[in-house]
């Protein structure tokens, strides 16, 4: 219990530093999710991060850092792995339809168990390659998944016309910008400061190029 108390203090402090307010019970559910991940990870190797305190920072707080950018009533998290950022966002911002997609069967088995045991309503896990997924979502998230060119090439069809694609990256991915396919434009690049994480983190917010607009011509111009 003492260990959980210490993790809870670290998580709550990080949430405060991010300037977030989460719904009642969310912190406890996030710790339950992490506990489940730690247990499954001992057998199934779902994440290379094994230290619980490091998981709080590198998984929970890093995922929560994009919460202010989450948009609309539906969200698809592509290449979600063990549910990052998708399950964290499902707990922190409930009330959305959320699809978690991964091609790896053991990760999807974990996701289904997490959805069941955490009673995550409106959340579904799909074992599939992103290329084969159908539907459209107001928000698409992807962390540590693929280059911008690949992720938009494989999954661009999933973004609703007014949707926002949130691509989570480490260093600012200037070298990937020329690969953004036609029809999409980078609306902003945000340097994220994740409490306790010294590494650089960036969020690219990508939308569809609106008809008649030139903003897809030079994605770098949209950066700030
Ligand atoms: C490096 S992991 C990142 C997992 C998680 N998003 C995170 O940040 O911890 C990339 C994940 O993408 C999945 N993946 C790779 N290519 C995929 C594809 N084409 N369709 C669906 N999932 C894919 C892998 O199975 C893996 O779980």
pLDDT digits (tens, 9 = 90+) for 22-54: 999 999 999 999 999 999 999 999 999 999 999
pLDDT band for 180, please (50, 70, 90 cuts). very high
Find the helix packing angle between 26-44 and 2-17, rounded to 10°.
120
Domains and CATH numbers, the chain: 2-222 (3.40.50.150)
Per-residue pLDDT reduced to its tens digit, 78-134? 999 999 999 999 999 999 999 999 999 999 999 999 999 999 999 999 999 999 999
Question: Residue 219 has what pLDDT?
Answer: 35
Which mutation among 61, 62, 76, 103 tests ligand 1's pocket best, with the greatest number of atoms within 8 A of CB? Answer: 103
Q: What is the C-alpha to C-alpha distance for residues 18 and 27, in angstroms, rounded to an integer?
A: 14
Name residue 203's beta-bridge partners. Answer: 168, 190
pLDDT band for 1, please (50, 70, 90 cuts). low
Residue 2 has pLDDT above 80, yes or no: no
Residues in contact with ligand 1 by the CB-under-6-Å rule are 79-81, 84, 101-104, 107, 129-130, 143-145, 154
Question: Residue 211 has what pLDDT?
Answer: 55
Residue 215 has pLDDT above 70, yes or no: no
pLDDT band for 182, please (50, 70, 90 cuts). very high
Which residues make up each annotated binding site?
79, 84, 130-131, 143
Name residue 123's beta-bridge partners. Answer: 98
Which residues make up each annotated binding site for S-adenosyl-L-methionine?
79, 84, 130-131, 143
- DSSP state, 22? P
User: What count of Cα atoms within 13 Å lies in the side-chain half-sphere of residue 77?
Assistant: 26
Distance of CA 47 to the CA centre of its chain: 15
Count CB atoms within 10 A of the CB of residue 13.
14
CA of 79 to the centre of ligand 1 (A): 3
Alpha-carbon torsion 132, 138, 144, 150, what sign?
positive
**Tokens 């499954």 map to which residue?**
40
59-79 core/surface letters (b: 16 or more CB in 10 A; e: else): bbbbbbbbbeebbeebbbbbb
pLDDT band for 166, please (50, 70, 90 cuts). very high
CA of 206 to the centre of ligand 1 (A): 19
> CB neighbours of 213 closer than 8 A, spacing ≥ 6?
185
Residue 158 has pLDDT above 90, yes or no: yes
Question: Residue 51 has what pLDDT?
Answer: 96
Q: What is the rounded average pLDDT for all residues in the chain?
A: 93
């Amino acid at each position: 219990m003492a260990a959980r108390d210490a993790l809870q203090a670290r998580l709550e402090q990080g949430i405060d530093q991010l300037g977030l307010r989460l719904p009642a019970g969310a912190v406890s559910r996030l710790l339950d999710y992490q506990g489940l991940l730690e247990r499954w990870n001992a057998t199934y190797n779902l994440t290379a991060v094994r230290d619980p305190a490091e998981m709080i920072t590198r998984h929970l707080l890093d995922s929560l850092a994009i919460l202010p950018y989450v948009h609309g009533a539906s969200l698809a998290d592509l290449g979600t792995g063990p549910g990052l950022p998708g399950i964290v966002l499902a707990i922190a911002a409930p009330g959305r339809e959320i699809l978690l997609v991964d091609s790896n069967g053991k990760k999807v088995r974990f996701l289904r168990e997490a959805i069941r045991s955490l009673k995550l309503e409106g959340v579904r896990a799909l074992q599939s390659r992103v290329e084969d997924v159908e539907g459209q979502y107001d928000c698409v998230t992807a962390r540590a998944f693929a280059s911008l060119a690949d992720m938009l090439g494989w999954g661009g069809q999933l973004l609703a016309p007014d949707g926002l694609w949130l691509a989570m990256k480490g260093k600012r991915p200037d070298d990937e910008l020329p690969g953004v396919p036609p029809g999409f434009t980078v609306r902003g690049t945000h340097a994220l400061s994740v409490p306790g994480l010294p590494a650089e983190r960036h969020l690219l917010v990508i939308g569809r190029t609106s008809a008649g607009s030139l903003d897809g011509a030079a994605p770098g111009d949209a950066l700030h």
